[in-house]
Amino acid sequence: MSARILLLPGDGIGPEVSAEARKLLEALARDHGLEVTLDEGLIGGAAVDAAGTPLPAETLDRAKAADAVLLGAVGGPQYESLPRERRPERGLLGIRSALGLFANLRPAVLYPQLAAASTLRPEVVAGLDILIVRELTGGLYFGTPRGIRTLENGEREGVNTLVYRESEIERIARVAFDAARRRRRRLCSVDKANVLEVSELWREVVERVHVDYPDVALTHMYVDNAAMQLVRAPKQFDVLVTTNLFGDILSDEAAMLTGSIGMLPSASLDARGRGLYEPIHGSAPDIAGQNRANPLATLLSVAMLLRYSLNREDLARRVEEAVGHVLDRGLRTADIAAPGEPVCGTSEMGDAVVSALSEAA
Ligand code: NAD
């Protein structure tokens, strides 16, 4: 049966990088046996302009009907004065919660060809390939009670609540163990069990789920140590799983190990493995419309989509290898070029990946 993919290009460089993703998906359908139907919808500022709201009901209906959604980026300076509920970012938060996307997968991969882009020494990061699995819909960001209240003596107090149910921990642990199985079969669960009761429960539940995955090696690490180890010796990790708050911080730290925001994809999955895939970068208004954006983060998001929602590991690898070939050949957009190196445009990079598909896998 043909898989249904909804493309949501969004704003700024979003439409430019999404156009390259469409080219890639069409080439995979034409030449490599992918059965797919592509649909396109409005989100973010583009939806505000056309329909007065950042997440039109029609977009949400189509997203729910799709097997996977591929998003470009949303936002831009022209929308910053809008009331909060009409801001482009609201579209993104809205679609994530409406689709029940509780698992956020953020790989940090540093292609050896780009090791010089990191602020860390090349030998520390060259060939880095880690995956952070972050719980996305629970924990400190959603727990109640929350708010700022005034005490009897007139002093104000801020309150947030860290809360996780066993079922929430179990489902994110399963996603992480499953992901580890597709990789090097090592999972590190990150918590703060020396201080937090929630973390004690987290550890216990992760251990319990481990019984179903005896082929995956499980370790635990405190979050402060994990933050340190990520810059000291990041290649020790395969998959990390953690809470919403810790994952938010550690995934940005891991992303920056690679030094190039234009290279990093992400996936957010629901309980059935349907997902929203997007580059981690924003709409980059400073370079929008100039054919300068690096489309590789979006093309690598397509690879994740093929792997996690369409179960096409073969095609996911083909895309990732095609990206490797193109980098081997020395093709660079401006964000990943060394000083003085010649640079190519968004569409040239996309075309090169499409041509390299037949050399890959
Ligand atoms: P940004 O990621 O858009 O840009 C940061 C810097 O990285 C810019 O200099 C930009 O030119 C560069 N950059 C980003 N992606 C690139 C790519 N693919 N190729 C080459 N260079 C790239 O972050 P920002 O400037 O903080 O935010 C701009 C807008 O994007 C804001 O409106 C923000 O709210 C929005 N935003 C959206 C998302 C999203 O859609 N998921 C994420 C972050 C920011």
The tens digit of pLDDT for each residue in 213-229 reads: 999 999 999 999 999 99
What are 232-265's pLDDT values in tens digits?
999 999 999 999 999 999 998 998 898 788 999 9
- Please indicate whether residue 294, judged by its CB atom, sits closer than 6 Å to ligand 1: yes
The C-alpha angle with vertex 65 and arms to 54 and 57, in degrees rounded to 5, equals: 25
Asked if 247 and 73 count as a contact pair (C-beta separation under 8 A), the reply is no
Q: From the CA of 15, how far away is ligand 1's center (Å)?
A: 13
Q: Tokens 């629970």 sit at which residue?
A: 138
Backbone angles phi, psi at 216, to 5 degrees: -105, 130
Backbone angles phi, psi at 311, to 5 degrees: 55, 35
Asked if 260 and 96 count as a contact pair (C-beta separation under 8 A), the reply is no
Q: Please give the share of the chain, as a percent, with pLDDT higher than 70.
A: 99
CA distance 101 to 92: 12
- The ligand 1 atom nearest the CA atom of 80: 32
CA distance 108 to 112: 13
Comparing C-alpha atoms, which of 258, 256, 257, 198 is closest to residue 223? 198
The predicted pLDDT at position 116 comes to 83
Residue 80 confidence (pLDDT) above 70: yes
The predicted pLDDT at position 273 comes to 87
Q: From the CA of 12, how far away is ligand 1's center (Å)?
A: 9
Confidence of residue 361 (pLDDT cuts 50, 70, 90): low
Lowest mean pLDDT among 5-14, 108-117, 285-294: 108-117
1-102+270-361 fold: Isopropylmalate Dehydrogenase (3.40.718)
Residue 360 confidence (pLDDT) above 80: no
Q: Tokens 């997007």 sit at which residue?
A: 278
The predicted pLDDT at position 359 comes to 85
- Please indicate whether residue 282, judged by its CB atom, sits closer than 6 Å to ligand 1: yes
The preferred substitution site among 8, 136, 261 for testing ligand 1, maximizing ligand atoms within 8 Å of CB, is: 261
Three-state SS at 8: strand
Q: From the CA of 207, how far away is ligand 1's center (Å)?
A: 38
Asked if 271 and 309 count as a contact pair (C-beta separation under 8 A), the reply is no
- CA distances, 267 to each of 42, 83, 219, 244 (Å): 19, 28, 24, 15
Confidence of residue 91 (pLDDT cuts 50, 70, 90): very high
What mean pLDDT do residues 321-338 have? 94
The mean pLDDT of the chain is 95
Quick check: do 1-102+270-361 and 111-132+158-259 share a fold? yes
Q: How many CB atoms lie within 10 A of CB 246?
A: 25
Structure tokens at 186: 């090592």
- Please indicate whether residue 89, judged by its CB atom, sits closer than 6 Å to ligand 1: yes
- Please indicate whether residue 350, judged by its CB atom, sits closer than 6 Å to ligand 1: no
What are 145-183's pLDDT values in tens digits?
999 999 999 999 999 999 999 999 999 999 999 999 999
Confidence of residue 338 (pLDDT cuts 50, 70, 90): confident
What mean pLDDT do residues 70-83 have? 96
H or E element: which one contains 219? strand 217-222
Does the reported pTM lie above 0.85?
A: yes
Domain segments of the chain: what residues? 1-102+270-361, 111-132+158-259
Comparing C-alpha atoms, which of 242, 232, 350, 222 is closest to residue 296? 350
339-340-344-345 Cα dihedral, nearest 10 degrees:
60
User: Residues with catalytic annotation?
Assistant: 141, 192, 224, 248, 252
Q: Bridge partners of 189?
A: 220, 241
Q: Tokens 């179990």 sit at which residue?
A: 170
- The ligand 1 atom nearest the CA atom of 335: 20
The predicted pLDDT at position 261 comes to 87
The predicted pLDDT at position 112 comes to 87
The CATH class, in words, for 111-132+158-259 is alpha beta
Residue 39 confidence (pLDDT) above 70: yes
Q: From the CA of 65, how far away is ligand 1's center (Å)?
A: 29
The predicted pLDDT at position 256 comes to 87
Backbone angles phi, psi at 271, to 5 degrees: -65, -20
Radius of gyration of the chain (CA): 21
